[in-house]
């Protein structure tokens, strides 16, 4: 995974969401009237009756459970784990600067009790929870530096603000860098991001062998996945848009005689979401026991398809943010019953040391939406038999060790409610074996004529949403390849892993994927709707002074850097990198003599700036002008690296509470520059900057 992308659209999504909800769209905190949640009535008599009957909470804890459910959710976040060195440096900064700072400020008694704490079960101390809500952080001056920091580092993928319990499922998948992973219901993608990070965190290669396919049935929500994946700059991800209950097995080659099976699958199913009542209080008014009954069927079908796509020996995690056994244990029990011993429930609690959990239920009640309780399917009146299914009832004995399922109750750790189960496939599912036998018989009876399931003509599918541009992979014969290859001295580079999104006309961006992702995209474009893949690696810049029409993109640098020769590399000292990051452009004359010497015969154009530091290897895309050098990265990225290099960047922190009164204060040249790039941080601007600068430089030097 490359250096993370810099450009935040979180605010955009939040604004759109508020617009849709008819709420305030203002970015000014003083005008912010997000009070609708405060006025939501957090009561529902049926909810209380139902869960009392379900016995999901120990009797003496009921009142505590309900009072916590009615309160707002605290903030939690995790530091991106894909690059160990960066994660460690950021952690040092979080613990050493922001939290210490925070506790030094003028705090109310309540705020003093809100000391951040590290989630004991999250690896490498990278998961954190604060005893304050997001609203508190947004609305209090004492937290403005932390708030700015979280927003800036979230935008460029170094931090993810994620609900504590939602961090659990990916951890239980035990991911290795070579794993083929499927995220069946992935949007908006916080767990997908964790899956991608896990692929990289154990890998010694900048492009691991494994892959992540992130899928969601809702076309619009798939673009949230695109946003998530882009923050992480991974060449190992594909985003697909398909109904997970009938997700086709992907072809690994052109003949379609080799199908992709996954080593790890996350099935984070659509659910009634009553575990998220603290975050989404409007669920209080909408809640009905009928919702769970209506979801049970689709949850089961998604889980079943997941197990079909799983390798024998592979692991699947089924999770929901619902407290309801009909969506949880009943789904798992039904699946275990059909799997007939080919799947086992794994006890994974030891992976969550320090987290208080409850055992899965082995007995529960089944009710209609009017809260009438039925002990067996025979008692269910006909009018409810489409909603209540026989498989929803608990078996008399717990034949499948449902107690190994994991429940998390909100009041135990001040979190949301959650359900998670780890399943392992120990042999083919009974119907997979039967299918294989029928297939073999068909083959025999056809007397040598091969009839293969996967060779049948696929049904024509109607796709929703935009028609995506094609994914066109480059070949050695592509007209743009020789100039790129020669300019960057790319040796042994897998050119067939580069792709564009246009089949005719000038190529603008060139993306890079791992070779397994390339095979999947090439062989399945007609069968599954592929929304996005690849990390931006080369960008057309048409600068006449450069001998190649494509510059490097910071996003894709980590993936291809090892292939690039020495001609376009510059070794810089730590101090030089700091100066370059602090300034928009610097004259070559300001650099060390060694660098000046090297730059004498260094052609104009895109290059790699390598910082010489064993403990913190840093690579940036740079631009060598006629007599200047600059880092070709945006403002957030500059701030990030300056922070990691120990530079105090507090001068760039905008205190929105004081902003109006400070408007007249002069800001130094660097401050203005960085702030400008952050606030106007658009791709278009980034694309334009070098050309304008190149042009300016050319003019200045010519005159
Ligand atoms: C609980 S959310 C997933 C949250 C996500 N895993 C995360 O951590 O950000 C459930 C998702 O399932 C999707 N979904 C619903 N039905 C689906 C189906 N039949 N196939 C695939 N996805 C589905 C919804 O669009 C929704 O995005």
Does residue 22 have a pLDDT over 70?
no
**pLDDT average, residue stretch 259-263:** 97
Per-residue pLDDT at 544: 84
Could you tell me the distance, in angstroms and rounded to a whole number, from the CA of residue 263 to the centre of ligand 1? 20
Report which ligand 1 atom has the smallest distance to the Cα of 191.
8
Q: Tokens at residue 71, please?
A: 């309160």
CA distance readout (Å), 384 to 74, 224, 229, 293, 341 = 39, 37, 42, 10, 31
Does residue 96 have a pLDDT over 90?
no
What distance, in Å, lies between the first and last C-alpha atoms of the chain? Answer: 43
Does residue 4 have a pLDDT over 60?
no
Report which ligand 1 atom has the smallest distance to the Cα of 187.
27
Per-residue pLDDT at 692: 39
pLDDT digits (tens, 9 = 90+) for 376-416: 999 999 999 999 999 999 999 999 999 999 999 999 999 99
Q: Label residue 543 by pLDDT band (50, 70, 90).
A: confident
**pLDDT average, residue stretch 465-473:** 86
Q: Which residues pair with 211 in a beta bridge?
A: 180
Q: Tokens at residue 281, please?
A: 């209080």
Residue in 8, 321, 541, 637 annotated catalytic: 321
Burial 483-500 (b: 16+ CB within 10 A, else e): ebbebbebeebbebbbbb
Question: 440 or 576, which is more confident?
Answer: 576
Per-residue pLDDT at 132: 78
Q: Is the CB of 409 under 6 A from ligand 1?
A: no
Report which ligand 1 atom has the smallest distance to the Cα of 245.
19
- Where does 246-357 show beta strands of DSSP type E? 262-268, 310-320, 343-346
Residue 18 to residue 12: CA distance in whole angstroms: 10
Q: Label residue 574 by pLDDT band (50, 70, 90).
A: very high
Q: Is the CB of 243 under 6 A from ligand 1?
A: yes
Nearest to 356 by CA among 409, 403, 318: 409
Per-residue pLDDT at 99: 77
Does residue 350 have a pLDDT over 70?
yes
Question: 550 or 657, which is more confident?
Answer: 550
Does residue 419 have a pLDDT over 80?
yes
User: Of 133-147, 385-399, 486-500, which range is least confident?
Assistant: 133-147
Does residue 553 have a pLDDT over 80?
yes
Cβ atoms 265, 182 nearer than 8 A:
yes
For residues 664, 667, 671, 675, the Cα torsion angle rounded to the nearest 10 degrees is 10
Q: Label residue 464 by pLDDT band (50, 70, 90).
A: low
Question: 605 or 442, which is more confident?
Answer: 605
Does residue 107 have a pLDDT over 80?
no
Q: What are phi and psi of 323, to 5 degrees?
A: -90, -5
Give percent of the chain with pLDDT exceeding 90. 66
Report the chain's mean pLDDT, rounded to a whole number: 85
Q: Which residue has the tokens 């529902």?
A: 44
Per-residue pLDDT at 651: 78
pLDDT digits (tens, 9 = 90+) for 634-689: 888 999 999 999 998 887 777 766 655 444 443 344 444 444 444 433 332 333 33
User: Of 142-146, 591-595, 638-642, which range is least confident?
Assistant: 142-146
Per-residue pLDDT at 672: 44
Residue having the nearest C-alpha atom to atom 25 of ligand 1: 218
Which of 186, 228, 331 to probe ligand 1 with, by most ligand atoms within 8 A of CB? 186
Q: Is the CB of 355 under 6 A from ligand 1?
A: no
Residue 258 to residue 250: CA distance in whole angstroms: 9
Residue 260 to residue 543: CA distance in whole angstroms: 43
Could you tell me the distance, in angstroms and rounded to a whole number, from the CA of residue 270 to the centre of ligand 1? 5
Per-residue pLDDT at 95: 85
Could you tell me the distance, in angstroms and rounded to a whole number, from the CA of residue 299 to the centre of ligand 1? 10
Residue 380 to residue 375: CA distance in whole angstroms: 9
Per-residue pLDDT at 23: 44
- pTM to 2 decimal places: 0.87
Element (H, E) at 670: helix 669-679
Q: Is 188 annotated as a binding residue?
A: yes
321 flagged as catalytic? yes
pLDDT digits (tens, 9 = 90+) for 615-633: 888 999 999 999 999 999 9
Cβ atoms 127, 78 nearer than 8 A:
yes
Q: Is 507 annotated as a binding residue?
A: no
Q: Label residue 442 by pLDDT band (50, 70, 90).
A: low
Q: What are phi and psi of 624, to 5 degrees?
A: -95, 115
Per-residue pLDDT at 20: 53
User: Of 77-86, 122-131, 274-283, which range is least confident?
Assistant: 77-86
């Amino acid at each position: 995974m490359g250096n993370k992308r810099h450009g935040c659209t979180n605010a955009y999504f939040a604004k759109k969401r508020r617009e849709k909800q008819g709420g305030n769209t203002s970015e000014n905190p003083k005008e912010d009237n997000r009070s609708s949640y405060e006025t939501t009535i957090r009561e529902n008599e049926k909810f209380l009756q139902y869960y009392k009957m379900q016995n999901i909470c120990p009797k003496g804890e009921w009142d505590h459970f309900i009072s916590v459910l009615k309160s707002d959710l605290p903030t939690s976040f995790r530091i991106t784990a894909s690059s160990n060195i960066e994660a460690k440096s950021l952690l040092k900064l979080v613990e050493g600067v922001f939290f210490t700072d925070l506790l030094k400020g003028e705090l109310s008694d309540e705020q003093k009790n809100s000391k951040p704490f590290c989630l004991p079960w999250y690896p490498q101390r990278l998961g954190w929870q604060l005893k304050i809500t997001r609203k508190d952080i947004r609305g209090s001056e004492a937290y403005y530096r932390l708030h700015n920091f979280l927003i800036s580092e979230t935008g460029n993928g170094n931090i993810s603000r994620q609900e504590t319990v939602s961090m659990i499922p990916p951890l239980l998948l035990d991911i290795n860098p070579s794993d083929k992973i499927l995220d069946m219901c992935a949007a908006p993608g916080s767990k997908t991001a964790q899956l991608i990070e896990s692929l990289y965190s154990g890998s010694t290669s900048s492009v691991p062998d494994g892959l992540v396919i992130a899928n969601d049935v809702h076309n619009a929500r798939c673009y949230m996945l695109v946003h998530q994946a882009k923050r992480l700059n991974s060449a190992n991800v594909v985003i697909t848009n398909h109904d997970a209950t009938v997700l086709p097995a992907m072809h690994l080659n052109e003949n379609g005689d080799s199908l992709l099976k996954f080593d790890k699958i996350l099935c984070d199913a659509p659910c009634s979401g009553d575990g998220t009542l603290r975050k989404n209080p409007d669920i209080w008014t909408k809640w009905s026991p009928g919702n769970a009954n209506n979801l049970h069927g689709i949850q089961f079908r998604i889980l079943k398809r997941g197990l079909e796509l799983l390798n024998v020996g592979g692991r699947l995690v089924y999770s929901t943010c619902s407290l309801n056994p009909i969506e949880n244990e009943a789904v798992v029990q039904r699946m275990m019953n059909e799997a007939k011993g080919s799947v086992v429930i794994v006890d994974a609690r030891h992976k969550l040391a320090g987290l208080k959990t409850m055992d899965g239920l082995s007995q529960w009640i089944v009710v209609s939406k009017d809260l009438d309780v039925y002990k067996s399917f025979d008692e269910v009146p006909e009018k409810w038999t489409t909603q209540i299914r026989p498989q929803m009832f608990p078996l008399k004995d717990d034949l499948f060790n449902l107690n190994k399922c994991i429940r998390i109750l909100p009041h135990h750790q001040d979190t949301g409610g959650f359900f998670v189960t780890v399943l392992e496939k120990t042999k083919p599912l009974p119907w997979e074996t039967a299918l294989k036998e029928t297939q073999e018989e068909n083959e025999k009876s056809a007397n040598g004529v091969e009839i293969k399931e996967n060779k049948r003509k696929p049904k024509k599918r109607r796709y929703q949403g935009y028609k995506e541009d094609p994914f066109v992979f480059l070949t050695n014969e592509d007209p743009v390849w020789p100039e790129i290859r020669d300019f960057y001295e790319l040796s042994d580079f897998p050119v067939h892993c580069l792709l564009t999104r246009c089949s005719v006309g000038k190529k603008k961006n060139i993306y890079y994927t791992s070779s397994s992702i390339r095979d999947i995209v090439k062989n399945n474009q007609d069968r599954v709707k592929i929304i996005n893949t690849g990390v931006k690696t080369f960008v057309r810049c048409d600068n006449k002074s450069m001998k190649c029409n494509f510059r490097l993109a910071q996003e894709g640098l980590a993936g291809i850097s090892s292939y690039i020769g020495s001609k376009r590399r510059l070794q810089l000292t730590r101090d030089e990198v700091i100066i370059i990051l602090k300034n928009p452009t610097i004259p070559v004359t300001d650099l060390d003599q060694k660098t000046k010497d090297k730059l004498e015969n260094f052609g104009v154009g895109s290059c790699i700036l390598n910082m010489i530091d064993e403990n913190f290897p840093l690579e940036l895309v740079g631009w060598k002008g006629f007599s200047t050098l600059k880092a070709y990265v945006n403002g957030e990225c500059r701030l990030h690296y300056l922070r990691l290099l120990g530079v105090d960047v507090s001068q760039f922190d905008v205190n929105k509470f004081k902003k109006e009164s400070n408007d007249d204060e002069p800001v130094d040249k660097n401050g203005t520059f960085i702030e400008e790039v952050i606030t106007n941080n658009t791709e278009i601007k980034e694309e334009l900057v070098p050309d304008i600068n190149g042009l300016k430089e050319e003019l200045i030097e010519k005159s």
